[in-house]
Amino acid sequence: MSDPAAEFDGPWKEALGWYFGPFLEFFFPAAHADIDWSRGEVPLDAELQQIAPEAEVGRGTVDKLMKVWTHGGQEAWVLVHVEVQSQRDADFARRMYVYNHRLEDKHGRMPVSLAVLGDETRSWRPAAHQAGRWGCEVRFTFPAVKLVDYKDREAVLAADPNPFAAIVLAHLKTQETRGDPAARQGWKVRLVKGLYDRGLDRERARRLLRLIDWMMALPPVPQNLFRREIAEFEKERAMPFISPLEQTWLEEGMEKGRLEGRYDGIETALDIRYGADGLALMPRVRKLTDPDALADLLRFLLTAPDLDAVRGRLPAAD
């Protein structure tokens, strides 16, 4: 069974965009307390890409730039580098300095640079860059947190309603289960079930489910087993209308756009909701070739009362 590569960059980037305030609250509470969140925040990723185009190169690093205001009314720039690669990067501290200096040069105000290190070693902890000669020198320091330090705090992370507690736990368990799809499936089920006990609203639960599902990549068979177990769990919890998991299926089918992608989404929904009897309908499903009709069928599948109702929406069998 192949073991798909775990994805860290994409989930972390989306999480920072959705939950920048909770991110600072979780990792850098002093910075969070100094910000006037009533004024909101302004993402400036496009500016970061202009001054640091190399940030887009796939090197296992996610960069986020936000404009925020302090309680005193003074605006501050916050540059956040989230390091999620599993190996050391000897150039990391210098790069933090370079980006900070470029932003200060452009805006006339020194930004605050923060780092989260997601590698698996405990010893690599860059937090400063220093260079110079003959008395002319620069020393740049930045706060950095290490995800591996949270390894012994599973119970605390599992109970914390901050979305980054779930993301950190998913990150650590994704690394821990590398090469062991069965163990990863078990942890993925456990983490997703735990979302329903965190007191999260529906939208936050849906987004976190998407991020965990994305980060903790599984081969097709354990992935289908994971979805089936969560679907049964949601039925037991009497989730109303469309559950967070079902919403995720719907989004996946819509995002893929092409026919084959929508067939895949329908096949997954049939498998999880009705098992072999549902999968037996796929030849009839494939008679539908209009993308809008397939999208409508996928939406219907998520709330269909029974399999007979699904059959009634399909072309006749040969």
Is residue 206 domain-resident? no
Does 159 reside within a domain?
A: no
> From CA 176, how far away is CA 184, in angstroms rounded?
8
267 domain residue, yes or no: yes
Indicate if the pLDDT at residue 23 is higher than 90: yes
For all residues of the chain together, what is the average pLDDT? 82
Give the model's pLDDT for residue 203: 72
Residue 246 is predicted with a pLDDT of 58
Q: Is the domain of 140 the same as that of 267?
A: no
If one counts the domains in the chain, the total is 2
pLDDT bracket for residue 108 (50, 70, 90)? confident
Over residues 265-312, the pLDDT tens digits come to 788 778 767 778 888 888 898 888 887 788 778 778 767 778 888 888
Q: 70, 36 in Cβ contact below 8 A? A: yes
Report residue 112 as tokens: 């605050």
Report which of 50, 45, 147, 141 is spatially closest to residue 96, judged by C-alpha positions. 141
Looking at the structure, tell me whether residues 18 and 127 fall in a common domain.
Answer: yes
Q: Would you say residue 73 lies in a domain?
A: yes
User: Rounded distance, CA 169 to CA 212, Å?
Assistant: 10
Residues 13 and 134 placed together within one structural domain of the fold? yes
pLDDT, tens only, 32-45: 999 999 988 888 87
- Of the residues 131, 150, 169, the one at which a domain ends: 150
201: in domain: no
Instruction: Report how far residue 117's alpha carbon sits from residue 12's, in angstroms, rounded to the nearest whole number.
Output: 12
What pLDDT was estimated at residue 204? 78
State the DSSP code for 295.
H
pLDDT level of residue 27 (50, 70, 90 thresholds): very high
Give the least confident one: 29-33, 41-45, 47-51, 91-95.
47-51
In a domain, 282, yes or no: yes
Q: What is the DSSP string of 160-186?
A: --SHHHHHHHHHHHHHHTTT-HHHHHH
Instruction: Say which range, 7-16, 83-92, 121-130, 188-197, has the weakest mean pLDDT.
Output: 83-92
- CA nearest to 215, candidates 246, 176, 243: 176
Same domain as 138, residue 15: yes
Sign, CA torsion 32/146/13/19: negative
Answer whether residue 308 is part of any domain. yes
Based on the fold, state whether residues 145 and 264 are members of the same structural domain: no
pLDDT at 4 over 70: no
Of the candidates 150, 179, 211, which is a domain's last residue? Answer: 150
| 20 and 138 share one domain | yes
Residue that is last in its domain, among 150, 170, 200: 150
End-to-end CA distance of the chain: 35
**139/244 same-domain check:** no
pLDDT for position 242: 45
115 confidence band (pLDDT: 50, 70, 90):
very high
Q: Is residue 176 a part of any domain in this protein?
A: no
Q: Above 80 in pLDDT, residue 173?
A: yes
- Tell me the residue range of the domain where 87 lies: 9-150
CA distance 149 to 8: 18
Q: How far apart are CA 49 and CA 26, in angstroms?
A: 26
| 221-244 residue pLDDT tens | 888 888 888 877 877 776 544 455
Question: Quick check: helix, strand or coil at residue 38?
Answer: helix
Query: Given its phi and psi angles, is residue 60 left (phi above 0), alpha (psi -120 to 50 degrees) or beta?
Result: left
pLDDT value of residue 166:
93
Arithmetic mean of pLDDT, 156-177:
93
- Tell me: do 16 and 145 sit in the same domain: yes
Based on the domain organization, do 139 and 250 belong to the same domain? no
- State whether 146 and 45 are in the same domain: yes
